[in-house]
Amino acid sequence: MKKAILSIISLLAILSIEAKDFVHSTDVVKKVKETFNTMETMSADFTIKSKEKNNTKITKGKVYYKKNGLVNFTFSQPTGDKIISNGKKLWIFMASLNAVAVQDLDSQKASLYETAGYNGLVNLFNRYHYSFDDTTQPKTRGKNNYYVFKLREKVSTGGFSEMLLYVDAETFLISGLETIGDNKKIEISFENVILDQNLPGSLFQYTVEGNTRVVENPLTSEN
């Protein structure tokens, strides 16, 4: 009898430890939102891999973020391309075409395209059902540990219906994303992240120069 009682006590002790150490996906998402909401600035190196059939395209560069939706993607590959937002306007400059698309983000027609920032992060988790991709969390990938989420679109919009999201288990910053699909796969990764550095406001403004062709509001829908 004593052995049976000791066995039950031992089992309960093990279960209590496992319950204490278990992290629910909603807890991680809450921490991600809190981290992003208190973050003033961020910079990182980014790499985007697009795979379609036997073709792979790689783009890379530096991303700068400042609170309230200010973003700057400066590409080193292809050289000269930029995506910049000051929270009200979005500029997409394509060096090979010497053209810039200017999108008005504060118009109702631009509602399909969220500005970057905390609200965009919240909308991502609102648009998709999310859960850990399996019960083993966090996972080791390279030198770091990550929580891996599987996201499934709640309502089909013609975009990516499923994605994998990687959250750094130490910093709770999003470090990568992979789309799931048969025809095309996109992988985005962030490295060398620096938080809360002093970033000049000029990074988040774009000035049209020379004979650059300007295309106004190409992303809006005619509803």
> Tens digits of per-residue pLDDT, 120-173?
777 788 889 999 999 889 998 888 899 999 999 898 877 788 999 999 999 999
For residue 167, is it within any domain? yes
Domain span including residue 132: 23-216
Which of 30, 84, 36, 61 lies closest to 200, judged by CA? 84
Residue 180 within any structural domain of the chain: yes
Cα 47 from Cα 160, distance rounded (Å): 19
Can you list the alpha helix ranges (DSSP code H) found in 22-114?
Answer: 25-38
pLDDT at position 18 over 70: no
In a domain, 9, yes or no: no
Residue 14 maps to a domain: no
The CATH number of the domain holding residue 51 is 2.50.20.10
Does the residue 157 lie in any domain? yes
Neighbours of 72 (CB within 10 A): 23
Residue 84 near residue 72, CB atoms below 8 Å: yes
Secondary structure (3-state) at 20: helix
Q: Which residue has the tokens 């150490």?
A: 21
Distance CA 147, CA 29 (A): 10
Label residue 223 by pLDDT band (50, 70, 90).
very low
Contact partners, residue 152, CB within 8 Å, separation at least 6:
128, 129, 130, 161, 162
When divided into structural domains, the chain yields a total of 1
In a domain, 159, yes or no: yes
Taking Cα atoms as reference points, which of 66, 6, 61 lies closest to residue 40?
A: 66
- The tens digit of pLDDT for each residue in 204-216 reads 999 998 899 999 8
Does the residue 18 lie in any domain?
Answer: no
* pLDDT value, residue 13: 43
Say what the pTM is: 0.79
Angle between helices 25-38 and 118-127 (to 10 degrees): 160
